[in-house]
């Protein structure tokens, strides 16, 4: 008999500290009007001194486990999407595993930048479908503000910190209907952080500080095109029409990108989950944060059809179609 994965519970976590657009006006040449009209962002949460990706991931994971009624000891695997791990190694998934007391299960990170949660979800789903795991914790967690140049208005106004998680359980009925992952390594220069281990930490070189570099308007165009294509691919793979969708749960980078995808799907914005105004772009945290908010607010109901999508550095992009 075929085995599928279902989302048994969701959770999320945000740092307590909030930075508004007005706060940013105090130390960088920008305005609330510019940020809100170009991105839809009004505020973002920022990790405080000593607060790490693992801290946020652990909180989101505990909430998802509680919602699912699953004990950490039942987990077969933890997959964590992040591009801002606490340490180079061990993986943040291993740090979270120990804190949860789930020692023994497989645990590893996936780095696919803003698409990290969808990549991690696809891995978890694939292990369950293949019969190699029955209960998987999937997390997307970031403290991206740690690698921002707070004097660069092109990037520092865009990002925030946060985490979201889901518990996947094996089920005879399909929850995750399909996932679709893509990447194009040829566009590295448009969105990246040049610091690395193997290339050497070269802080003396121009542009080599620990910071995000982005050609925003180029990324914007690629994002809209790639997301159009992946949502079409997802519906076609499942023989479904856009009118079958109940909710679009998109990556929260820019409200104008979200609106473009909604238009492609002929969905009115009241069927689109938007959190970018409150969270900014939390990279791998953004989709599971939006999903958890949608579930906890009662918008997303069991049995509904959800389309999740994301686009980010790499480039990477992907989607998941889910019967919740």
- 45 Cβ contact partners less than 8 Å away, ≥ 6 residues apart: 14, 15, 16, 17, 18, 19, 160, 161, 162, 279, 280
- Of the candidates 20, 25, 32, 34, which one interacts with ligand UT7 according to CB under 6 A? 34
What string marks each residue from 178 to 217 as x (binds ligand UT7 by CB under 6 A) or -? --------------------------------------xx
Residues in binding contact with ligand UT7, number by CB under 6 A: 20
Q: According to the binding rule CB under 6 A, does residue 254 interact with ligand UT7?
A: yes
Report in angstroms how near the CB of residue 34 gets to ligand UT7 at its nearest. Answer: 4
Strand stretches in the chain, DSSP E: 4-13, 18-20, 43-45, 77-81, 106-110, 135-143, 161-171, 176-183, 191-192, 213-214, 247-250, 305-312, 316-323
Report in angstroms how near the CB of residue 237 gets to ligand UT7 at its nearest. Answer: 24
Query: Which of the stretches 27-35, 64-72, 79-87, 90-98 binds ligand UT7 when contact is defined by CB under 6 A?
Result: 27-35
What string marks each residue from 267 to 286 as x (binds ligand UT7 by CB under 6 A) or -? --------------x-----
Closest CB to ligand UT7 among residues 34, 108: 34
SS3 of 3, please?
coil
Near ligand UT7 in 43-102, by CB under 6 A: none
The answer to whether residue 94 is catalytic is: no
Q: CA-to-CA distance for 74 and 2, rounded, in angstroms?
A: 21
- Of the candidates 223, 248, 260, 265, which one interacts with ligand UT7 according to CB under 6 A? 223
Q: What's 137's DSSP letter?
A: E
Which one from 45, 180, 251, 279 is the annotated catalytic residue? 251
Q: CA-to-CA distance for 303 and 307, rounded, in angstroms?
A: 13
- Of the candidates 117, 311, 317, 324, which one interacts with ligand UT7 according to CB under 6 A? 311
The answer to whether residue 154 is catalytic is: no
Q: What's 50's DSSP letter?
A: T
The pairing of beta strand 161-171 with beta strand 135-143: antiparallel
Which one from 114, 156, 180, 279 is the annotated catalytic residue? 114
266 vs 194, 232, 243, 294, 321, CA distance in Å? 38, 12, 8, 20, 17
Q: CA-to-CA distance for 259 and 15, rounded, in angstroms?
A: 27
Q: CA-to-CA distance for 202 and 210, rounded, in angstroms?
A: 10
The answer to whether residue 281 is catalytic is: yes
Catalytically active residues are 114, 251, 281
Chain residues in the site for ligand UT7 (CB under 6 A): 30, 34-35, 38-39, 114, 153-154, 157, 216-217, 219-220, 223, 253-254, 257, 281, 311-312
């Amino acid at each position: 008999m075929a085995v599928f994965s279902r989302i048994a519970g969701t959770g999320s976590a945000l740092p307590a500290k909030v930075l508004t657009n007005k706060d940013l006006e105090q130390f960088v040449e920008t305005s609330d009007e510019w940020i809100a009209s170009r991105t839809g962002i009004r505020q973002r949460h920022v990790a405080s001194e000593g607060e790490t990706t693992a801290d946020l991931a652990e909180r989101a994971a505990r909430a998802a486990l509680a919602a699912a009624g699953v004990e950490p000891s039942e987990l077969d695997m933890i997959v964590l999407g992040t591009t801002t791990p606490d340490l180079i190694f061990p993986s943040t998934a291993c740090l979270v595993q120990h804190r949860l007391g789930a020692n023994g299960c497989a645990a590893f990170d996936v780095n696919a930048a803003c698409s990290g949660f969808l990549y991690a979800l696809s891995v978890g789903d694939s292990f369950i479908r293949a019969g190699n795991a029955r209960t998987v914790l999937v997390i997307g967690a970031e403290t991206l503000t740690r690698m921002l140049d707070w004097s660069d208005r092109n990037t520092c106004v865009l990002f925030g910190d946060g985490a979201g998680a889901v518990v996947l359980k094996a089920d005879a009925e399909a929850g995750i209907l399909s996932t679709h992952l893509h990447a194009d390594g040829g566009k590295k220069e448009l969105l990246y952080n040049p610091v690395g281990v193997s290339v050497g930490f070269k802080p003396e070189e121009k542009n080599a500080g620990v910071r995000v570099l982005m050609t925003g308007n180029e990324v914007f165009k690629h994002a809209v095109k790639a997301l159009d294509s992946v949502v079409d691919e997802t519906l076609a793979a499942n023989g479904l029409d856009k009118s079958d969708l109940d909710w679009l749960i998109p990556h929260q980078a820019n409200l104008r990108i979200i609106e473009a995808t909604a238009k492609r799907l002929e969905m009115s914005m009241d069927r689109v989950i938007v959190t970018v105004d409150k969270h900014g772009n939390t990279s791998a945290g953004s989709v599971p944060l939006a999903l958890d908010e949608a579930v906890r607010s009662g918008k997303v109901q069991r049995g509904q059809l959800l389309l999740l999508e994301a686009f980010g550095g790499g480039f990477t992009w992907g989607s998941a179609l889910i019967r919740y």
